[in-house]
Amino acid sequence: MKAYILISTKPGTSLEVVQRIKEKVKEVVEADAIFGRYDAIMILTAPALENINQIVYKVIEKDPNVIRTETSIVLSPM
């Protein structure tokens, strides 16, 4: 299962948030700090939705500099 995680962070913290989460979560395939509505984007792959749920709620959203997240689950890999 693949998911895109869009992350809003506290101002000036997106690079450190991306680095910290990449180091903690082996399921992160790609992660970048970005400009725009969100401050960071991550691509996760995991065996099941429950695994993605655990990563988002117990790791990413627990980061002190993360304000909110939005998750988009891939329907069918191309």
Q: How many CB atoms lie within 10 A of CB 30?
A: 11
pLDDT of 38 strictly over 90: yes
pLDDT of 77 strictly over 90: no
Cα torsion angle, 76, 69, 10, 17, sign? negative
The confidence score (pLDDT) of residue 35 equals 95
- 43-75 pLDDT, tens digit per residue, is 999 999 999 999 999 999 999 999 999 999 999
Give the residue numbers spanning the domain of 39. 2-73
Any domain includes 78:
no
Any domain includes 25:
yes
Q: How many domains does the chain have?
A: 1
The confidence score (pLDDT) of residue 78 equals 74
CATH assignment of the domain containing 43? 3.30.70.920
Q: pTM of the entire structure?
A: 0.92
